[in-house]
Amino acid sequence: MSTVTVTTWSLEQTSPEDQRPAAAPEEDIRVVRAEVPSPEFSRFLYTAVGGDVRWTDRLGMTYAEWQKLLERPGVETWVAYEKGTPAGYVELEAQDDGVVEIVYFGLIPAFRGRRIGGHLLSAVVARAWDLAERWPGIAPTKRVWLHTCSLDGPHAMDNYLRRGFRVFDTKVTEEAEVSAPGPWPGAAL
C-alpha cells in the first residue's frame, strides 16, 4: 500500500478579539443553524463537502452513531445557503473547560473560490465564541480551535489565518493513500 506525507496544523483563537471578519461575498449568502439534529442532512453535508478532499473518518458510522453525535450538548451545525441551496457547513463541538472545536468546515466544490468560505467561517467563529449562551451548563468559551492538513483545499490555511487563527502545533505523518470517495460511492470527481 502506498503512503502520502500529510502535514497537519492545529490553529486557535484565545480571545473573541482575535476574530477578523471577512468581506461579504457578492452573492446573498445566509448562514443558518440546523437546530434539529438530522443524521441524513449532516451526512449529506459531510460527503458533499469532504468527498473530494478525502474525508473518510465518518463514512462507516451508522445512523444511530450520527444521531448520538449530533444530539450531544454543545454540538452545532451551521450551514451557508445561496438562493436556498446548501453551499457549505461548519460543525462546532463544545469540549471541556470552555474549549470549542471547529470539527468540520468546508464548502461544496461548486461554491469554492467565491469568498463564501471566509464569510461562513467569520459568522460561525462568532457563534463559537457565544456558544455557551445557547447551551445551559456549557462553560463560556475561552478558546476556539481547529485543524487543517495538506490534503485540504488550497485556500483553507490562508482563510484560517486571515480570520485571526494562529498555528499552535504542526505534525507530519505518513498516511495510507486513499482515493477520494467523492460525494457518494461511484461519483465522478
Task: Convert 146-156 to b/e letters by CB count within 10 Å (16 or more is b).
Answer: bbbbebbbeeb
Let me know if residue 70 belongs to a domain. yes
- Cβ atoms within 10 A of the Cβ of 136, count? 7
26-70 pLDDT, tens digit per residue, is 889 999 999 999 999 999 999 999 888 888 889 899 999 999 999
With 80 as the cut, is the pLDDT of residue 183 above it?
no
Let me know if residue 183 belongs to a domain. no
- Cβ atoms within 10 A of the Cβ of 169, count? 11
CA angle 129, 114, 50 (to 5 degrees): 70
Look up cell 461575498; give the residue: 25
The confidence score (pLDDT) of residue 155 equals 87
Number of domains in the chain: 1
114-166 pLDDT, tens digit per residue, is 899 999 999 999 999 999 999 999 999 999 999 999 988 888 999 999 999 99
Chain centre distance of CA 6: 19
The confidence score (pLDDT) of residue 27 equals 86
Concatenated DSSP letters of 137-168 = TSPPP-EEEEEEETTS-TTHHHHHHHTT-EEE
Let me know if residue 101 belongs to a domain. yes
State how far the Cα of 182 lies from the Cα of 186, in Å rounded to an integer. 7
State how far the Cα of 93 lies from the Cα of 100, in Å rounded to an integer. 6
Whole-number mean pLDDT of the chain? 92
The confidence score (pLDDT) of residue 186 equals 54
Let me know if residue 77 belongs to a domain. yes
> Residue 49 is part of a domain; what is its CATH number?
3.40.630.30
* Structure-block grid coordinates of residue 84: 436556498
Reported as type and span, the H/E element at residue 8 is: strand 3-13
What domain range includes position 122? 3-176
* Region 155-181 average pLDDT: 90
- Cβ atoms within 10 A of the Cβ of 175, count? 13
